[in-house]
């Protein structure tokens, strides 16, 4: 039965070569540390899914934001879970991305030929932090409001354009409805678009160039300072 | 890496791959297993940790200590090491540098070696960076470190740590002359008011700590072993002085093993210590040491220097006569009575004016009881009950005390507040804050502000904010900087007065006040609402809030549309409210007409009307035959279909029909005249279409009701819900009111008896409105209106 | 390739399974688990508001002590209820004509004409409810006396408890 369906689609879509290229390729023998990247990816999917679900009830205005978040948390079935997953997922994403980066540094995996993968990874880390910062304001509770007040004020210390940056981030002198909507817009449109772009390149390179093999301790012994090329 | 190293790596990698494992299912299995675990852990966190949500954001609550998400904490903590101008380094430069290094990693670590053992410096610096971030994060999670200038465990330092260091860091620079106590209690420039959070003693301890960090250090070094600075906050300065100067000679220190104070604490340090223990805060010092004898404030008309000398020298000031040598006992008693309670002893007033006013001014000194007053008056210079404050207070403390006493002598805040309240607030809030209907908007009931529950639930800062900025609606901001009439001090006084109710709230229960919807014609509406601010005749007045509506400037400055908009939407900057919330659009229109009718205006044909015709009509009319606009007489009499103007009847005049577009053709064909211009022409015709026409004015107190002003509002309110859509009689327009009706025209002008409208209202035939008749007044208005010709 | 040659033996006499097949199946199962863990709450979350039904919005709406209701004459009572939709709370006013013959048994009916929704009012002299829109009349018990309305005035279910009268819901037609 499954074979038949498989064949039916194969004849119409021709996806088997793609599946073969993606899934049935060989990769070097890896350790458990190599699952950190895919775990980050899974949490990202979790963030996207739960984030989309949250927008179904969330309203980005100072009048409604808090009430709608409270409504999601306390009255919608599984609302606490969806919000909880999004909330804790944010922390998990930072932790996993951080560990993933440490793994990459330990393995020297940013070296040739994976420099671009490393750059996009750093971009992804920055985007993740920006997600955390913009998302923090959205529930419009005390913590959100005051932490963002302090957080945006940091921009003011930049020489010359500091005050302008502050007004740009807040959409005015003070934290207001304008700040909320622009953070919201950033959080659900601008940053996801950037994320998609970067993750696309990152994943493409992981498949195209392949993941790095765990370095062997023997490399130092084999190679003298003359760096002879092995036959 | 060199080119050959690169190709070598690629070869090696291809080999690894060949010896490797298939991505699916081997690697995917691991990935999915870890992914599932992560997801379950997340669900566990969501289940046990919940999705945290604090109180709704309150931008006015500046007590909140903000904390960023945990993964930004290290950055937050980093800021504490980069104060002032260096903040830029901590906030921007270091993180940017860190990121730049990460980006450059492939170029910094450029050997072919990949195993961590061969890349010690990379591993090392990464370890240091991770450890540093971890350290900073942990550091910011544990308590904020104590201010640098404190070593011991003392009260004020803990207060500082808890309340100030979040924003101020480890130390605050205090400008000379700052009234710290007031600043802490009342807040300023974004700093919260701590009056509600901290006790007076705590605020005092804190200000002493801040103004005299040196004193804090001395205290910590010498006294903190036995004393807590908070315990000493309200102690007498004489005791402090004695304890300091007498060393072990001071009774309480007698048996203790403490050093000779003279050898330990010297001049400047002693001042610092005293300032630390007893903050130079005038109000506090006055409250502790002066008010017992002098009451809430002394009476002082002299200058500052004299007052300072008086306080310094206390009982030594010898200018006051020993009155017992001059006045008989009876007069001294009389004066004493007058001083203690002026109103009960009016006979004392001339005596006071004669003997005392030269020095004491018009303000009467206070005394606690008659005996004391008699003694003071009789003894004069020798009354030595007042201490020589100069001996025990530091210069800073003396200055603060003098300043406060001088301010307070202008009246206690409560008294000033009471006067202000009577002048500015009682109109709306009632003499005792009992509230009631808003004087200019009776549908809006002002809740009492003097109930116990109201006062308990609002701290001074809140009341101050309400008065300063005005709540969202109804009340104008009162603070000078917000455009109001009061200085910051005056608002403080008002707050003090309102707060004084709390001990004995004058209002126990909110009175129940109900108010129905607003009804009535525009004259009635005007006299009910508008007249309160603009005067019954609309002319304003010196004691009224609103401007004159009858002045030429006012009448000429605004078009009818602008007047309508003003009434409908109000002005946010003044106490003019948006009447559109209370009145119907018809009533507002009626008001505009009423305001226009308040003044008599003269329309001069040659000045006001002729220019309109010249500009818009004479290009065609005058040469093409038909109507001719070249002179007033021709304007009236000429025309293809008979005279264009029928004086007194604008509706019947062809000219008006053409201008309004209700006739055969709209004139001018190229574009209509403005409403203002058409109105002017209509008014000119209404007034008789002569060279000089006077309109309005006579109606102000008149008796002639009109449909628009008087009748329409009644009909709209009581009949319009049914009539107007269901056929039969229709009250929507003037014409339909007169002419429609199931049994022929409902109104025959001049004859109320023969008008079915009037008869049905009176209940002759089926009563209208069904079940509930209009009020007698309303029916009378309609009957009078019909009998007077049913004027539009 | 050497994979697939290792044989895995599952317990309880199951057929032998290659390592590859086992990993594939385990992976598929776990992916299904992840899908279920995220999918089930998602559906519940989306369906949740659909479960809310109309009604009074409150369990019971107090109208006051029964002693205050005049006997023999329908009297209009108004009560405000707060209706919560999502996170928005609105105040609505409900009006009832409460009628009792004996001070013990009560009936309550809506004052909304069943024709086009105008407000009817009680005309004491005629002993009828009168709708001003199309001159419809209703009898004291709410049935149609004359005019276009298709059915009697809506009735409300009442409850007397501790001498207090409550409206507990609409009587379904």
Query: How many Cα atoms are found within 13 Å in the side-chain-facing hemisphere of C110?
Result: 19
Give the integer Cα–Cα distance in Å for B456 and B458.
6
Q: With 50 as the cut, is the pLDDT of residue B150 above it?
A: no
| Minimum mean pLDDT range among A196-205, B90-99, B160-169, B643-652 | B160-169
Instruction: State the Cα–Cα distance between residues A230 and B33, nearest whole angstrom.
Output: 39
The answer, for C50 touching chain A at a CB cutoff of 8 Å, is no
What integer pLDDT is reported at residue B381 of this predicted model?
A: 52
Closest CA to B761 of B745, B772, B750: B772
Asked whether the beta carbons of A66 and A140 are under 8 A apart, the reply is yes
Give the per-residue pLDDT at A227. 44
Q: Which of A124-133, B253-262, B649-658 has the highest mean pLDDT?
A: A124-133
Answer yes or no: is A21 within a domain. no
Helices marked H in B187-315 — which ranges?
A: 200-211, 213-222, 237-246, 261-264, 267-277, 282-285, 291-294, 304-313
Distance (Å) from the alpha carbon of A226 to chain C's nearest alpha carbon: 36
Q: What is the DSSP letter of B471?
A: -
Instruction: Count structural domains, chain A.
Output: 1
* Cβ contact C23–B25 (<8 Å): yes
Asked if B613 and B514 count as a contact pair (C-beta separation under 8 A), the reply is no
DSSP E strand boundaries for B370-494: 436-438, 441-446
CB contact under 8 A, B88 and A157: yes
Is the residue at A23 inside a domain? Answer: no
What residues in chain C have per-residue pLDDT under 70?
Answer: 1-16, 52-58, 172-173
As given in the structure block, the two tokens for residue B687 are 């007034």
**C96, β-bridge pairs:** C77, C110
The per-residue pLDDT for B575 is 62
- pLDDT single digits (tens) B362-418: 556 666 677 777 777 766 654 455 666 776 777 777 777 777 777 766 666 677 777
Place of tokens 């932490």: A147
Return the structure tokens found at C41.
Answer: 């709450």
Rg (CA), chain C: 31
Q: Give me the pLDDT at residue B412, please.
A: 63
Torsion of Cα atoms, B595 then B596 then B600 then B604, to 10°: 160
Round to whole Å and give the CA distance between B29 and B392. Answer: 84
Rounded CA-CA distance B121/C141 in Å is 95
Indicate the helix (H) or strand (E) that contains C98. strand C88-100
B577 vs B575: CA distance, rounded Å: 6
pLDDT (0 to 100) of residue C13: 43
Q: Hey, what are C171's tokens?
A: 């009587």
d(CA A181, CA A163): 20
Residue A93 has pLDDT above 70, yes or no: yes
Rounded to an integer, the average pLDDT of B516-530 is 67
Cβ distance of A67 and C87 shorter than 8 Å? yes
Tell me what the pLDDT averaged over chain B comes to.
Answer: 74
- Is A227 a domain residue? no
Supply φ then ψ for residue C168, to 5 degrees.
-110, -10
CATH architecture, domain defined by B522-597: Orthogonal Bundle (1.10)
Q: Which residues of A touch B1 (CB under 8 A)?
A: 111-112
Closest Cβ opposite residue B39 in set C27, C37, C132: C37
Contacts of B279 (CB under 8 A, 6+ apart): B180, B181, B204, B205, B207, B208, B211
Q: What pLDDT, in 10s, does the model give residues B197-234?
A: 676 667 777 777 777 767 777 777 777 667 766 666 66
Q: Which of A39-43, A106-110, B2-6 is modeled with the greatest confidence?
A: A39-43
> Cβ contacts (< 8 Å) between B58 and chain A: which residues?
142, 145
HEC profile of chain A: CHHHHHHHHHHHHCCHHHHHHHHCCEECCCCHHHHHHHHHHHHHHHHHHHHHHHHCCCCCCCCCHHHHHHHHHHCCCCHHHHHHHHHHHHHHHHHHHHHHHHHHHHCCCCCCCCHHHHHHHHHHHHHHHHHHHHHHHCCCEHHHHHHHHHHHHHHHHCCCCHHHHHHHHHCCCCCCHHHHHHHHHHHHHHHHHHHHHHHHHHHHHHHHHCCCCCCCCCHHHHCCCCCCCCC
Instruction: Please report the number of interchain residue pairs, chain A to chain C, with beta-carbon separation below 8 angstroms.
Output: 41
Query: What pLDDT score does A228 carry?
Result: 43
Residue B566: enclosing H or E segment and its boundaries? helix B560-569
Share of chain B above pLDDT 90, in %: 6
CATH of the domain at A105: 1.20.810.10
> Residue C93, SS3?
strand
d(CA B582, CA A167): 39
Q: In the beta sheet, which residues pair with residue C130? A: C121, C137
Structure tokens at A214: 């765990």
Sequential DSSP letters for B12-29: HHHHHHHTSEEIIIIIHH
Domain spans in chain B, listed from the N-terminal domain onward: 3-49, 70-141, 155-277, 282-409, 413-503, 522-597, 601-695, 707-787
Which of B482-496, B610-624, B729-743 is predicted least confidently? B610-624
pLDDT at B597: 76
The arithmetic mean of pLDDT across residues B731-759, rounded, is 79
Instruction: Please give the distance of CA B175 from its chain centroid, rounded to a whole number.
Output: 29
Q: Say if the Cβ atoms of A79 and C46 lie within 8 Å.
A: no
Q: Encode pLDDT of A113-164 as tens digits.
A: 999 999 999 999 999 999 999 999 999 998 899 889 888 888 888 888 888 9
Residue B502 has pLDDT above 80, yes or no: no
Question: Mutate which of B6, B23, B93 to test chain A, going by most A C-beta atoms within 10 A?
Answer: B23
Residues of C in contact with A78 (CB under 8 A): 41-42, 44-45, 48
CATH hierarchy code of domain B413-503: 1.10.760.10
Side-chain half-sphere CA neighbours of B329 within 13 A? 1
Separation CA B12–CA B31 (nearest Å): 25
Smallest Cα–Cα separation from B218: which of B187, B259, B158? B259
The two tokens of residue B10 are 């690629």
Domain that holds residue A114: 31-209
Average pLDDT for A85-104: 95
Q: Which of residues 153-212 of A touch B (CB under 8 A)?
A: 154-155, 157-159, 174-175, 210, 212
Same fold, B522-597 and B707-787: yes
CATH architecture assigned to B707-787: Orthogonal Bundle (1.10)
**Chain centroid to CA C91:** 16
Share of chain B above pLDDT 70, in %: 71
Q: Is the pLDDT of residue B514 over 60?
A: no
Q: Is residue A110 part of a domain?
A: yes
Residues of C in contact with B35 (CB under 8 A): 30, 34
pLDDT at B127: 94
Q: What are residue B438's phi and psi, to 5 degrees?
A: -60, 130
Taking CA atoms, what residue in B is nearest to A222? Answer: B113
Confidence of residue B715 (pLDDT cuts 50, 70, 90): confident
HSE on the CB side for B9, CA within 13 Å? 23
């Amino acid at each position: 039965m499954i074979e038949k369906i498989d064949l039916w689609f194969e004849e119409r879509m021709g996806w088997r070569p793609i599946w073969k290229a993606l899934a049935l390729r060989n990769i070097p023998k890896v350790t458990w540390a190599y699952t950190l990247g895919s775990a980050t990816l899974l949490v990202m999917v979790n963030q996207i899914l739960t984030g989309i679900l949250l927008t179904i009830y969330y309203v980005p205005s100072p009048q409604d934001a808090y009430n709608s978040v409270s409504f999601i948390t306390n009255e919608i079935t599984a609302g606490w879970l969806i919000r909880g997953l999004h909330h804790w997922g944010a922390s998990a994403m930072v932790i996993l991305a951080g560990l993933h980066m440490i793994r990459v540094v330990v393995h020297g995996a940013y070296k040739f030929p994976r420099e671009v993968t490393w750059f996009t990874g750093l971009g992804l880390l920055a985007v993740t932090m920006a997600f955390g910062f913009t998302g923090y304001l959205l529930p419009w509770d005390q913590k959100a409001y005051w932490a963002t007040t302090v957080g945006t004020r940091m921009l003011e210390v930049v020489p010359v354009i500091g005050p302008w940056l502050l007004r740009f981030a807040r959409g005015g002198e003070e934290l207001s409805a304008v700040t909320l909507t622009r953070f919201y817009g950033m959080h659900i449109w601008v940053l996801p678009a950037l994320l998609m772009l970067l993750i696309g390149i990152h994943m493409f390179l992981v498949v195209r160039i392949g993941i790095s093999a765990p370095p062997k301790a023997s490399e130092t012994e084999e190679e003298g300072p003359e760096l002879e090329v092995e036959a | 890496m060199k080119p050959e190293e690169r190709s070598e790596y690629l070869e090696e990698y291809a080999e690894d791959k060949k010896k490797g494992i298939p991505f699916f299912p081997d690697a995917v299995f691991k990935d999915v297993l870890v992914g599932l675990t992560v997801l379950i852990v997340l669900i566990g966190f969501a289940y046990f940790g919940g999705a945290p949500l604090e109180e709704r954001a309150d931008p006015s609550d500046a007590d909140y200590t903000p904390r960023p998400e945990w993964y930004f904490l290290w950055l937050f903590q980093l800021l504490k090491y980069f104060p002032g101008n260096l903040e830029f380094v901590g906030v921007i430069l270091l993180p940017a540098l860190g990121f730049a290094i990460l980006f450059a990693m492939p170029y910094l670590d450029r050997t072919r070696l990949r195993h961590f053992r061969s890349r010690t410096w990379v591993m090392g610096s990464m370890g240091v960076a991770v450890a540093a971030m971890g350290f900073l994060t942990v550091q910011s999670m544990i308590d904020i470190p104590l201010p640098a200038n404190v070593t011991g465990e003392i009260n004020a330092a803990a207060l500082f740590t808890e309340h100030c260091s979040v924003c101020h860091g480890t130390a605050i620079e205090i400008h000379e002359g700052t009234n710290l106590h007031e600043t802490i209690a009342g807040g300023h420039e974004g700093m919260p008011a701590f009056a509600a959070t901290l006790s007076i003693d705590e605020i005092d301890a804190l200000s002493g700590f801040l103004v005299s960090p040196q004193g804090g250090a001395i205290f910590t070094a010498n006294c903190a072993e036995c004393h807590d600075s908070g315990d000493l906050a309200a102690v007498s300065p004489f005791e402090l002085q004695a304890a300091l100067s007498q060393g072990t000679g001071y009774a309480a220190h007698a048996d203790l093993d403490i050093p000779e104070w003279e050898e330990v604490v010297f001049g400047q340090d002693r001042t610092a210590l005293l300032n630390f223990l007893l903050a130079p805060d005038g109000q506090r010092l006055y409250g502790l040491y002066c008010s017992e004898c002098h009451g809430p404030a002394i009476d002082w008309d002299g200058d500052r220097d004299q007052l300072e000398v008086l306080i310094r020298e206390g009982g030594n000031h010898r200018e006051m006569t020993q009155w017992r040598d001059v006045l008989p006992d009876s007069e001294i008693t009389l004066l004493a009575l007058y001083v203690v309670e002026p109103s009960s002893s009016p006979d004392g007033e001339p005596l006071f004016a004669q003997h005392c006013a030269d020095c004491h001014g018009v303000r009467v000194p206070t005394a606690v009881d008659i005996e004391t007053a008699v003694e003071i008056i009789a003894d004069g210079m020798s009354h030595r009950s007042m201490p020589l404050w100069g001996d025990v207070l530091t210069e800073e403390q003396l200055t603060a005390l003098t300043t406060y006493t001088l301010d307070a002598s202008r009246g206690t805040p409560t008294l000033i507040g009471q006067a202000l309240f009577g002048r500015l607030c009682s109109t709306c809030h009632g003499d005792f804050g009992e509230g009631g209907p808003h004087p200019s908007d009776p549908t809006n009931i002002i809740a009492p502000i003097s109930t116990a529950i109201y006062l308990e639930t609002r701290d001074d800062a809140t009341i101050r904010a309400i008065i300063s900025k005005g709540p969202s609606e109804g009340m104008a901001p009162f603070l000078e900087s917000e455009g109001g009439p009061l200085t910051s001090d005056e608002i403080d006084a008002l707050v003090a007065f309102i707060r004084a109710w709390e001990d004995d709230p004058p209002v126990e229960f909110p009175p129940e006040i109900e108010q129905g919807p607003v009804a009535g014609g525009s004259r009635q509406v005007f006299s009910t609402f508008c007249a309160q601010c603009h005067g019954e005749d609309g002319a304003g007045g010196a004691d009224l809030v609103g401007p004159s509506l009858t002045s030429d400037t006012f009448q000429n400055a605004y078009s009818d549309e602008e007047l309508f908009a003003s009434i409908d939407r109000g002005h946010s900057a003044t106490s003019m409210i948006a009447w559109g919330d209370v009145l119907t659009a018809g009533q507002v229109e009626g008001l505009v007409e009423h305001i226009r009718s308040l003044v008599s205006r003269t329309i001069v044909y040659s000045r006001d009307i002729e220019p309109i015709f010249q500009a818009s009509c004479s290009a065609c009319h005058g040469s093409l035959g038909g109507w001719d606009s070249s002179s007033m007489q021709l304007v009236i009499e000429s025309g293809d279909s008979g005279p264009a103007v029928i004086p007194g009847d604008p509706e019947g005049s062809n000219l008006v029909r053409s201008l309004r577009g209700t006739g055969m053709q709209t004139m001018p064909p190229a574009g209509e005249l403005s409403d203002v211009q058409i109105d002017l022409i209509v008014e000119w015709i209404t007034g008789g279409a002569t060279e000089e026409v006077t309109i309005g004015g006579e109606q102000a107190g008149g008796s002639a009701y009109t449909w628009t002003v008087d009748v329409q509002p009644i009909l709209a309110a009581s009949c319009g819900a049914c009539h107007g859509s269901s056929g039969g009689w229709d009250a929507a327009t003037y014409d339909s009111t007169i002419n429609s009706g199931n049994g022929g025209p409902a109104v025959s002008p001049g004859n109320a008896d023969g008008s079915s409208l009037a008869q049905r209202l009176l209940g002759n035939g089926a009563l209208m409105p069904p079940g509930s008749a209009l009020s007698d007044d309303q029916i009378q208005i309609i009957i009078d209106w019909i009998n007077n010709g049913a004027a539009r | 390739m050497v994979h697939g040659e290792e044989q895995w033996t599952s317990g309880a006499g199951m057929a032998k399974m290659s390592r590859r097949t086992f990993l594939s199946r385990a992976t598929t199962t776990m992916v299904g688990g992840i899908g279920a863990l995220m999918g089930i709450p998602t559906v519940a979350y989306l369906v949740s508001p659909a479960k809310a039904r109309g009604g009074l919005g409150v369990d019971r709406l107090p109208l006051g002590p029964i002693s205050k209701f005049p006997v023999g004459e329908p009297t209009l009572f108004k009560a405000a209820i707060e209706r919560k939709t999502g996170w928005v709370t609105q105040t609505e006013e409900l009006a009832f004509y409460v009628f009792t013959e004996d001070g013990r048994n009560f009936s309550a009916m809506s004052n909304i004409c069943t024709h086009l929704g105008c407000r009817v009012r009680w005309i004491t002299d005629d002993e009828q409810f009168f709708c001003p829109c199309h001159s419809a009349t209703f009898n004291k018990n709410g049935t149609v006396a004359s005019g276009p309305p298709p059915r009697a005035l809506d009735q409300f279910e009442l409850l007397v408890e501790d001498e207090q009268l409550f409206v507990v819901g609409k009587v379904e037609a």
